[in-house]
Every structure is written in structure tokens, then in C-alpha cells.
Structure 1
Amino acid sequence: MKENTIISVGENAVSSKDNMIILFDETATDDIKNVAVIHQPINQEVTYQLSVGTTIKFGEQCYAIEEMGERVNGSLTMMGHATLLFKERSDEDLLPNALYLSPYNLPEIKTGMSLIFD
């Protein structure tokens, strides 16, 4: 289990148009922070090893990984980055940093809430 805390939610971070959220850690630039959810691991020694079926929890809201890109674990480990898509992948290519999650509704996200990869 990898437990994080959401430390900020950018003004344009949650896109209901695309059913998408972009994650980054606290090293993100100011421009990125405007469009991302910034999280910080509780344990600084974090290496991610997510796979299809892993659950992600925003507070008490639970989501399952249906598909994932090949670079997700490395990007999350290096800079806390992943693109979360709350929809089925259609004909689009599988993005290397993408996590396709179900259910297909966006979570309610607030600063201070937990973000757990389990």
C-alpha cells in the first residue's frame, strides 16, 4: 500500500469534459500545478508497482485500474505523475502514463484527503 496526501488541487485540475485528472508530486512547476492534483507520499521512500486490478482510493472513493500504460510505475516513482482516465479506452492509443479506472465517474477531491494505491 502506498499512502499519499493531496496537498493541492489546481484550478483546472479536474476535467469533467475528458473525465480526466492529472497527478504530480510537489516538484511540479507552477503551470502544471494549475492543471494537476498535487500529492505527497507519506513515506518518502516510494516505489510504485501498480498493475491491472490495483485499487486507488481518494478518501473513501475506490477505483480499480482496468488498463495502464507502460511508464506509469516509473513516472509515479520519479515525479508522482500519472494521467487518470475515468472511462473505457476506445480506439485511442494507450498513453504511456495513463491509468484507465472504473467506475467512470470523477471522484470528489479536496486538499488534505488521502490518496491510496493498494
Structure 2
Amino acid sequence: MENSSLRRRVLMEIENLVARSCPKQKVPLKFENLHVAILKNHYNAADVVFDYHRGRVSLDIVMDDRDYDPKRINLSVPTLHANLWFRNLCDFLKTCIDNDSKSVAFYAGLLKSYQSNEMSLVA
């Protein structure tokens, strides 16, 4: 029971962080890094580039992880290039938040890093 409440709290906190990271003006670099991390996790993307002004995101999605070997240089990992359009950045990012165990653990780490960054800015 406690595990599910922790999962809900992590998901709620990451959604709150996403909501704070979507300003009307230029997106700060720390929040752009958050957006990239969320999309890399959701789409299993190797590269993510945002064009906030045009409402577009360009991704290189890894199609098959079996060809990836961290012990050697990977020159032939199959990827699919995608160019996605979004109308509302906040809503788009919230749809990319997954609730599986691996993703929730990833989001907990993101939350911890952003909380420690905010604490260092206050101190």
C-alpha cells in the first residue's frame, strides 16, 4: 500500500515540476534539460532537440536496443528520426510521463536532482 502512495506522490511531483518548467517566455536551460530527459525516457531517444518557438521537437528514436553495447563504439544502432509538433508544451510533456516502475524510479532521481539544485540556489 505504501509503495503505491509513494508512486502516486512521485508522479504528482514530476507533473508539478513539469508545470513549473513551462513558462510563457524563454525556457531556462535547466528546464530544457528536464524536458529532454523526459522525452529520452519516454521515447527511448538517443537525441532530442526542442524548437520551442515553432512548437516542435526532433528525436532520434532507438529502434532496437539489442545492437547497443556500452563496451564499444556504436556506429550502427538503428534509429528512426521523428519530428513532432505540440500545441501546448505542458500538456505534451505530461502525456510523456510513464507510470511503470522503471520510469517512476527515473523520475524520483530527477526530482532529487532538481530539489538539490533549488536548495543550492537558496543557500
TM-score w.r.t. the length of structure 1 is 0.27
The structure whose RCO (Cα within 8 Å, separation 6+) is larger is 1
Name the larger-Rg structure.
2
TM-score w.r.t. the length of structure 2 is 0.26
Larger strand proportion, structure 1 or 2? 1
